[in-house]
Structure formats: structure tokens, C-alpha cells
Amino acid sequence: MPKLFAAIVPPSLKAVSETFQFAPAVRIGGQILISGIVGTDAQGLLPPDFRSQAENVFTTLKPFSTRRGRRSMMWRA
């Protein structure tokens, strides 16, 4: 039976993924499903305001949004 999904673990999340035994994203066909991404900054601290937390989430998601050197459709307006 073929594998139905492929785990996606960018180098920046490898240690966390191995420690907590989860894949931050999986590819199923043409979709990427993301899980477990929080709004902490590079030092692991959670900013007090939502805007900063959201910006941190999108910074963390950047490795998921590029494919073969170009941005994926999920970020286009």
C-alpha cells in the first residue's frame, strides 16, 4: 500500500519535532496541512500582543510556503 502522506519538517523545527514526536506539516496530494505552530519568537517567548504572535507564526511558516524557489499558492491573494 502506498504511503498516503509525507511529513514535512524544516530544519528549524527538527529538534522540536523529534522531541515531541510530531510533524509540523504533512503533504497529502497537493495540500499541505499544518499543525502545532505557535506564535513564539526566536527565543521561545510569547509576545503579549496578537499581531506579534501572528507575525511570528507566518515567519515560522515561511519554509512551508516555498517550493522549488517560488512561493506557493496558499500565500497569494
- What pLDDT, on a 0 to 100 scale, did the predictor assign at position 36? 80
> 5 near 30, Cβ under 8 Å?
no
R_g (Cα) of the chain, nearest Å: 14
Burial of 14 (0-12, 13-18, 19+ CB in 10 A): exposed
Q: How far apart are CA 52 and CA 77, in angstroms?
A: 21
| 34-69 pLDDT tens trace | 888 889 988 889 999 999 999 998 888 887 766 544
In 3D, which of 59, 20, 23, 10 has the Cα closest to residue 38? 59
Higher pLDDT, 28 or 64: 28
56/40 Cα distance (integer angstroms)? 6
